[in-house]
Amino acid sequence: MTQLETAMAILMKTFDTYAASEGSKSSLSKGEVKTLLEKELPGLLKSAKNPADVDKLLKSLDFNGDSEVDFSEFVVMVAALTCACHDRSPKK
């Protein structure tokens, strides 16, 4: 597999791993998202000065308002975080 194909497979596997821990296997609950962030992006949570900011992030991910984060919403989160970390992202 190419690097991009590998990255895509890892995204799918990561989502599926955490979505399978409770409730629906096709979406992440708030608890599952927090666990995912704690395990997969520990630096993000450590750098958050205010725990309420993490809750705001979780709420902003739920585009359709169903109190769950589906795979599309998860991918948008990963893409947004990747852009924020990438030094070549356009500055506005």
* Pairing verdict, β 69-70 and 27-28: antiparallel
The pLDDT of residue 10 is 97
Domain carrying residue 36:
3-85
Q: Strands, DSSP E only, in the chain?
A: 27-28, 69-70
Angstrom distance (rounded) from CA 60 to CA 23: 21
| Structural domain total, the chain | 1
Do 19 and 28 touch, CB atoms closer than 8 A? yes
In a domain, 92, yes or no: no
Do 45 and 53 touch, CB atoms closer than 8 A? no
The pLDDT of residue 67 is 81
pLDDT 10s per residue in the chain (92 long)? Answer: 999 999 999 999 999 999 988 878 999 988 898 899 889 988 876 766 666 766 777 777 777 878 889 999 999 888 877 877 776 545 65
Residue 78's domain is classified under what CATH number?
1.10.238.10
The pLDDT of residue 88 is 57
User: What is the model's pTM?
Assistant: 0.78
In a domain, 91, yes or no: no
The pLDDT of residue 5 is 98
In a domain, 18, yes or no: yes
The pLDDT of residue 54 is 67
In a domain, 22, yes or no: yes
In a domain, 90, yes or no: no
